[in-house]
Chain A
Amino acid sequence: MSAFEPTIQTAEKRAVWAWRPFALTLPALVLLAAVIGYPLLTIVLRSLSEPAWGVQNYAWFFGAPVNLAVLQRTFSISAWVTLVCVVCAYPYAYLMTAVGPRMRLILVLCVLIPFWVSGVVRTLSWVILLQDSGVINSLLRSAGFAGIRLIRTQTGVVIGMAQVLLPFMILPLYSVMKGIDLRLVQAARSLGARPSRAFLTVYLPLSLPGVYAGAIIVFILALGFYITPALLGGPRSTMLSTLVQTQVLSLLQWGRGGAMGVVLLVTTFLLLALAAPVMRSRHREAGRR
């Protein structure tokens, strides 16, 4: 009550200095328009105008089975990566909420350490690990097994990408899980639920917003991946980004490359728009500590 009504006071300042906060954002907005807006617009225009005005580039893209195969592969690789991330991140994030502060620090460090080295170097590490003369294969051979082909396969790409993207799954999941009131699980137990049932009917539904949030982020980032598939993948695991790069840099087909880029861009934003309401969870208030 009495409080000192800063909201009212700022409302007034706003009326007088309405332009001021906006002016502060102007430099960033101008740069944004010049380095993001204008280039993206250029790409859209080029995809519609080169070599002639029309939708021929899009017709070409959706007409060629090769392209559609790549598009489908991009989605399926992203889906696999997302699945691997969810499966691995869920128990890990749960453990983070269940252990003491010292152990939690170690677990958090394990999540953050991958960020300590450059992304390119990390992909190099995966080359070292996965190649035919790499760590995994030499370990397998010394254990008496036959080597398996990992590099330049879809499996290799998924393993590498999932490791790079795992932190983006673990962190949102952890932040949701640590907010779940464990007394609710106790309440379910006291009402007669077995531990597994209490988990499935209470804990899991409450943690789903974190799963959604993480999965959307991972899937979207995976769609646009370029470096990892380029280094770990082969011709049979090409993703859309690589195709765009080939069209533009090698074939100088700006129209076609642009059209593919626009497809990728539109897909990304559509997914974001679809995900937004899901992420604004209905359970946000209930079940929170």
Chain B
Amino acid sequence: MEMKPLTRIVLGLVCLLVAIWLVAPTLVVVPMSFNGNKSLSFPPQGFSWQWYENFVTNPEWSTSFLNSLKVASIVAVLATVLGTLAAFGLDRMKARPANLLRMLMLTPMVVPGVVLAIGIYAVYLDAQLVGTLPGFVLAHTILALPFVLIAVSANLEVFDRRLETAAASLGAGALTTFRTVTLPLILPGILSGLLFAFATSFDEIIVSLFITNPYLKTLPVQIFSSITRDADPTVAAVGTILLCATTILIGGGMLLLGRERKGRL
């Protein structure tokens, strides 16, 4: 569409503002994390590494971080296995029941967090799962499942089933076909599902707030209670560390992907 110069400038400005609005909150934690005072007021006073030190040395922070890592790792594997199996089942089912089941499996995405949280809390109280590793893993797995399902299903949709027939004609049984043809071709979907599942669990807060107890806290719960309790810049330090970690992970992933693509051409 052609635009008048004025329209173009206004559009550019609006989008610049939106972009700043999107990105700035992500970056504002960085200067705060080096605050010399125990305050979250702006602008930060002085400079110190003490909040990073606190994150590493204070068992409240380091334990919750390790807990989150542990829970998210198990959830990633579990949700990926369950989600991939389900995606396969749905792909090979008749359209009508498949659509119905798919909608059912996506409900965790739309059920309001608090409603789900009190429900799971009620059940966990009876089953004595509050503050336990299995409790966290089960709840996070069900929340992560839709993301795996979506990622793997998207890959299965473009997967050419005729390749499986071709493999059969060349002498491959069902299992061999899966291992040598199907799996390698949908691996990108499975891996991104794995990543999404990990991120979902690592980031989950609402259900975690309800099923946590002093013996088992995850990092988001610790961050939340720290924010509500006092203005502790350790939170900003944690935010900065997470930001750096994700940037490195994503940047590295993009580099690897780019290199592999180049290698193929």
Q: Per the CB under 8 Å rule, do A and B touch in the complex?
A: yes
In angstroms, Cα B25 to Cα A36, docked, is 33
B141 touches A117 (CB 8 A): no
Contacts of B149 in A (CB 8 A): 28
A117 touches B246 (CB 8 A): yes
B262 adjacent to chain A (CB < 8 Å): no
Nearest-CB distance from B60 to chain A (Å)? 15
Contacts of A119 in B (CB 8 A): 203, 205, 220
Contact of B205 among A14, A91, A107, A227 (CB under 8 A): A227
Query: Nearest A residue to B219 by beta-carbon distance?
Result: A118
Contacts of B141 in A (CB 8 A): 31, 35
A134 adjacent to chain B (CB < 8 Å): yes
A39 touches B119 (CB 8 A): yes
Tell me the A80-120 residues at the B interface (CB within 8 Å): 88-89, 91-92, 94-95, 98, 107, 110-111, 113-120
B77 adjacent to chain A (CB < 8 Å): no
B118 touches A116 (CB 8 A): no
Nearest-CB distance from B209 to chain A (Å)? 8
Contact of B223 among A4, A46, A98, A118 (CB under 8 A): A118
A245 touches B114 (CB 8 A): yes
In angstroms, Cα B236 to Cα A39, docked, is 35
Nearest-CB distance from B208 to chain A (Å)? 10
In angstroms, Cα B23 to Cα A111, docked, is 8
Stretch of A52-60, A63-71, A125-133, A279-287 contacting B (4+ beta carbons < 8 Å):
A125-133
Contacts of A278 in B (CB 8 A): none
Nearest-CB distance from A231 to chain B (Å)? 6
A220 adjacent to chain B (CB < 8 Å): yes
A264 touches B42 (CB 8 A): no
B112 touches A265 (CB 8 A): yes
B47 adjacent to chain A (CB < 8 Å): no
B86 touches A24 (CB 8 A): yes
Count chain B residues whose beta carbon lies closer than 8 angstroms to a beta carbon of A. Answer: 84
Nearest-CB distance from A163 to chain B (Å)? 6
From known contacts A25-B101, A32-B145, infer whether A117 and B243 are also in contact, taking CB-CB under 8 Å.
yes
A95 touches B22 (CB 8 A): no
Tell me the A111-156 residues at the B interface (CB within 8 Å): 111, 113-129, 131, 133-135, 138
Contacts of A113 in B (CB 8 A): 22-23, 26
A25 touches B85 (CB 8 A): yes
From known contacts A28-B145, A31-B141, A120-B223, infer whether A224 and B202 are also in contact, taking CB-CB under 8 Å.
no
Contact of B26 among A9, A36, A122 (CB under 8 A): A122
Interface string of B222-265 (1 = CB under 8 A from A): 01100110000001101100110011001000000000000000
Q: How large is the interface on A (under 10, 10 to 19, 20 to 34, 35 or more residues)?
A: 35 or more
A29 adjacent to chain B (CB < 8 Å): yes
B93 adjacent to chain A (CB < 8 Å): yes
Nearest-CB distance from B74 to chain A (Å)? 14
Contacts of A231 in B (CB 8 A): 224, 227-228
Contacts of A98 in B (CB 8 A): 1
Nearest-CB distance from A200 to chain B (Å)? 12
From known contacts A31-B141, A163-B22, infer whether A4 and B203 are also in contact, taking CB-CB under 8 Å.
no
From known contacts A43-B119, A166-B22, infer whether A124 and B235 are also in contact, taking CB-CB under 8 Å.
yes
Contacts of B202 in A (CB 8 A): 118
A23 adjacent to chain B (CB < 8 Å): yes
B123 touches A24 (CB 8 A): no
In angstroms, Cα B156 to Cα A24, docked, is 15
Interface string of B1-38 (1 = CB under 8 A from A): 11110000001101100110111111011001000000
Tell me the A234-263 residues at the B interface (CB within 8 Å): 241, 244-245, 248-249, 254, 257-258, 261-262
B88 adjacent to chain A (CB < 8 Å): yes
Nearest-CB distance from A251 to chain B (Å)? 12
Contacts of A46 in B (CB 8 A): 122
Nearest-CB distance from B23 to chain A (Å)? 5
B115 touches A261 (CB 8 A): yes
From known contacts A114-B26, A120-B223, infer whether A244 and B239 are also in contact, taking CB-CB under 8 Å.
no
Contacts of B235 in A (CB 8 A): 121, 124
Contacts of A175 in B (CB 8 A): none
A-B contacts, 12 of them at CB < 8 A, read A9-B165, A10-B161, A22-B97, A24-B86, A28-B145, A35-B142, A38-B123, A95-B12, A98-B1, A120-B220, A128-B29, A227-B206
